[in-house]
Amino acid sequence: MSKPWWVWKSAQCVEIQHFDIPFAVKEYLQNQVGQIQKEKHCREWSDWCTDDLRTRPNDVREDCKTRLVRTYPGLLTGVHGAAIRQDSHWLPVFVVSGLVPKDELKTPYDTDLIICTVLWHYSHPTTGEAVASALSFFNNHLDTDASFSTFAIDGATTNRGSADAVGEKGKGFILATQYFHELVEEYDTSELLQIEGRKWHTGVSFRVGHQVGELSWRHARSLPTAKVEKQLQVVLDDLHPYTSDQFLTKLGFQDDGDGSSDHPRKKSEGASKISEVKRQAAMKVLNGIYKRRFAQRLSERPRGSTQSQVDTAEPPQEICRIRPDEVSITVLGIPGPLSPAEAFYSVYGVIPPEHAWRVLPQVDTPIYFFKSETAHPLFYHRDHLVRTGPTLNRLSINYRGNLDLSADRTSVDTSTHAFAQYKANLSKAAHLAFEFLPDLAVEIALDILTDGGASGSTLSRVLQPLDTRSKETYRAAFVASWRMLEPTLPASKILYPYPVSSAARDLPLIEELGMIGRPVSDHIMSKILHPSGAYSRIHHHVEKSLLRAPAYNGEVPGLVRLQSAIKSLLPPGSIDPELVNVVNHKYSTPKIAWNPKAKKFYMRVPERCAEHAPGDGCPCWVGPYLFSAMDSWKEKSHSKTKGPARSAICRAFIHCMDGEGEVPPINGHVSIVLQDYADEGLVSGPDSESDSDVAASDQTPTRQRRISASSERTLSAPHQLAGKVSPPASSVDARFPQVSIKQAMAVPPRSNLSGLFNGVIDLCQRGLQEAATFEAQSSSLQTEGVNNEAIIKELRAQTTRQDEEIRHLRAQLDLKDAELGYTRGLLTAKWADDTGKRAVA
């Protein structure tokens, strides 16, 4: 009597190229966990119980093996499971189990749901070394609408209608089983297994209720002229405990009802003879079924029974040890001593990580951060490893929200809304860690600081602080991380970050403040450290110290001139009467800053001019301070106006330096009294404002700060001019020597001041033209960048559409293959399932 069979995949098929032992184990465990999730109607379950026996003596392992057989009678069944049970050299080294009480289940079963997975090692009889490994998987509560064909037909499953179970349904079991079969078949010829007295052969078998599946190769041609193809097939061995009448009915040798009484006597006598022959043959087959049941540990002989009694092949002569709702899988002959970490690391929680943190960005979406023992970080989706998932830089992650996985479950589709929601949840979880979990915050900071930023899904790119309430914990975490990365940093020094792109500008100031600068990526500074409130740019930081500095009580020559220029440039109602406060600020920058709340400027005491007035009487500082003041006001002002143009600032500067009064002698010369040069046409009128002035007045805050620095260089000529012009008499201190008007008039009135002013204006105009040229180049580059971005975006959109079309075609192809396989399986399994049900009935 031939047995039904199903063809699976070709040898070394593409579908199993990405498989390894942990990935195949994950497929089996995923089916077990999926059964729990379906019956509990829950999305997560990881209440694993483990027993590590690696360091225990052999007698403890033997006791554990006996206990496993007693607790799970259906565990070591089938061809290869029975081989492990019978050979004393097979001992357990790691046991993983789980139990869900029946009261927690939402199914009609009246028993507890149990699962058990055991890792076995085979010890060499003489050396005692482990030379091979085995895995056995067991669970009960097989779905009521499932059968052996559900496992044998490619694409068949009972999980497809469940929203709680994980993974791509109907593919994992067959691929994992074929992978293990090819692995152990290759190892069976190894010299390590040439052991005298070895009673087992490598292989994979599985049992579904009373039916056992065995694997073998089938050689066939798809076409008469084609090459012979080697394909794996599963053969069904039906070991159901039939009675003789049930078995004869199953074979069609006996009718269920009474036969007709009007048959001819001759035909009836012939039929009786044929039926008796067939009955004897059927009983011989049935006797073989019971022998295999005993050999494969599906049942046991009752005490006191003899072999002759067993040959009658009736169910009452055996004690059945299994239930029809059980599933058992045995993989025998895995190369070498497989470790638990290697076998089970693809499923999160079987071996809990040493350092793990649970964060709830949403009530029903926990995220687990943990430190992996592997060389590279891992990504788990709902407790199952995604091999090429969107990993972090250093930390590993287990995300229990929704994600769209690829068909082979090795990658995540990053183009869907689910992935965007994942990144939002990850950002929120990281922020909550900074707020409430300081240990995890340090690990996240390390992850961010050591990230090159190449991936768009790491924490350095995803984290967006929700507020500034946790700025202190952000700062503490990053400081701790810097000191962990560089333990030699002095503990007494304050650490302060700066963007690598502005190191030349920021690092000297950080060092001037007595702190140690730490370089960070620009996006970390602008997207994480700034929004969290932990750190601001160093220039903003030192500006705050300027605004808090104590007042300076001395006289500052040229202060009235600066105030006069500022008043002429700003709207009258937007400034305080006491326009400029001079403070004792010891750092070189900023020189002057606008405080919008106080509506006034805060200015440090100007430095002495070594070239013109050693006695502190030179107002060279007025020009640079005026331009810096206007830059600061533009940056912080919320006015709808663009602020004064650069040419207007130049005119205001010239006017403020054109005051009447006596000028102190500079380098042995006596200055003259200046008149109103505006009347003489030495100052450009309103019509002289160029397009570059307008462009310069429409700068962003970042650009304004750059212009402030360049303005100081441009105003070298105004510095020289200011050194030859005196402040008003009312602002001159007794410390500065004065020269009378009469003495000043002794100097020839014709001087080169007009040329100097024209030089100042020319310098200003050239600076404005250079600024306009720079802005034009910048605008051109920005336009080119926008065009490139548009092209890239369109190419990405085309790629996405093509990928979607390919994915759709693959899905259609898989569906067709599944339909063909399912139809072929149904036709093949028709008598195996239908007749079995009639026999049971």
Cα distances from 837 to residues 288, 448, 502, in angstroms, run 21, 61, 79
What's the rounded mean pLDDT across residues 531-543?
90
Residue listed under structure tokens 């669970």: 139
Which of 727, 716, 707, 724 lies closest to 760, judged by CA? 716
What is residue 674's predicted lDDT score, i.e. its pLDDT?
31
CB 350 within 8 A of CB 95: no
- Lowest-pLDDT range of 204-208, 408-412, 806-810: 806-810
Q: What CA–CA distance (Å, rounded) separates 178 from 16?
A: 8
pLDDT tier at 805 (50, 70, 90 boundaries)? confident
Identify the band that residue 544 occupies on the pLDDT scale cut at 50, 70 and 90. Answer: confident
Supply the pLDDT for residue 783. Answer: 74
Give, in order, the Cα–Cα distances in Å from 828 to each of 3, 54, 152, 269.
10, 45, 11, 35
| Pairing assessment for the beta strands 396-399 and 495-499 based on DSSP bridges | unpaired
Res 613 pLDDT > 90: no
pTM of the model: 0.72
Measure the CA–CA gap between 475 and 677, rounded to whole angstroms: 55
Burial class (CB in 10 A: 0-12, 13-18, 19+), 311: middle
Nearest of 428, 462, 395, 382 to residue 168 by alpha carbon: 382
Task: Give SS3 for 7.
Answer: strand
What confidence tens digit (pLDDT) does each residue in 212-248 have? 999 999 886 555 656 677 899 999 999 998 888 888 7
pLDDT of residue 116: 97
Confidence of residue 467 (pLDDT cuts 50, 70, 90): very high
Instruction: Give the chain's length.
Output: 841
pLDDT at residue 354 is higher than 70:
yes
Among 517-526, 587-596, 684-693, the range scoring the smallest mean pLDDT is 684-693
Q: Which of 415, 419, 481, 438 is nearest to 802 (CA)?
A: 415
Q: What is the pLDDT of residue 277?
A: 76
216 torsion bin: left (phi>0), alpha (psi -120 to 50), beta (else): beta
Are 385 and 379 spatial neighbours (Cβ–Cβ below 8 Å)?
yes
Backbone angles phi, psi at 517, to 5 degrees: -80, 140
Question: Of residues 425 and 681, which shows the higher confidence score?
Answer: 425
Give the pair of three-digit tokens for residue 192: 């390590």
Contact 583, 560 (CB under 8 A): no
More confident residue, 153 or 770: 153
pLDDT of 307 reads 53
Closest CA relative to residue 329, chosen from 204, 149, 187, 169: 204
Average pLDDT on 165-177 reads 73
The pLDDT value recorded for residue 833 is: 58
In this prediction, residues 671-695 reach a mean pLDDT of 35
Residues 6+ apart with CB under 8 A from 416: 404
* Listed residue (43, 8, 2) closest to 156, CA to CA: 8
Q: Return the closest-CA partner of residue 117 out of 46, 28, 177, 210.
A: 28
Out of 49-53, 279-283, 359-363, 427-431, least confident range: 279-283
* 131 vs 188: CA distance, rounded Å: 12
Structure tokens belonging to residue 646: 């650069």
Given phi > 0 = left and psi -120 to 50 = alpha, else beta, which region is 333? left
Q: Which of the residue ranges 307-311, 405-409, 792-796 would you say has the lowest mean pLDDT? A: 307-311
The pLDDT, as a whole number, for residue 785 is 74
For residue 587, is pLDDT > 50? yes
Structure confidence by residue, pLDDT tens digits, 780-795: 777 777 778 788 888 8
In the structure, what pLDDT confidence band is assigned to residue 693 with cuts at 50, 70 and 90?
Answer: very low
pLDDT of residue 30: 92
Q: How confident is the model at residue 166 (pLDDT cuts 50, 70, 90)?
A: low
pLDDT of residue 433: 96
Cα separation of 569 and 625, whole Å? Answer: 14
pLDDT band at 823 (very low <50, low <70, confident <90, very high): low
Average pLDDT over residues 125-146: 90
- pLDDT digits 0-9 by tens, 186-203: 887 667 777 777 777 889
Average pLDDT for residues 319-347, to the nearest whole number? 94
pLDDT band at 667 (very low <50, low <70, confident <90, very high): very low
For residue 52, the cross-strand partners are 94
Residue (of 269, 134, 295) closest to 212 by Cα position: 295
Supply the pLDDT for residue 161. 53
Question: Of 30-44, 237-251, 258-272, 753-767, where does mean pLDDT reach its minimum?
Answer: 258-272
Q: Residue type for 394, please?
A: R
Render pLDDT for 428-464 as a digit per residue (tens, 0 to 9): 999 999 999 999 999 999 999 999 878 889 999 999 9
Q: Is residue 417 pLDDT above 90, yes or no?
A: yes
Is the pLDDT at 730 greater than 50? The verdict is: no
What pLDDT, on the 0 to 100 scale, is given for residue 665? Answer: 39
Give pLDDT tens digits for 73-122: 999 999 999 999 999 999 999 999 999 999 999 888 889 999 999 999 99
Work out the angle at residue 43's Cα, subtended by the Cα atoms of residues 347 and 330, and round it to the nearest 5 degrees: 40
- The C-alpha angle 339, 342, 344, rounded to 5 degrees, equals 105
Are the C-beta atoms of residues 202 and 188 closer than 8 Å to each other? Answer: yes
Output the DSSP codes for 250-298: HHTSS-SSPPPS-S-HHHHHHHHHHHHHHHHHHHHHHHHHHHHHHHTTS
Calculate the average pLDDT of the chain. 79
Q: What value does the mean pLDDT take over residues 263-277? A: 54
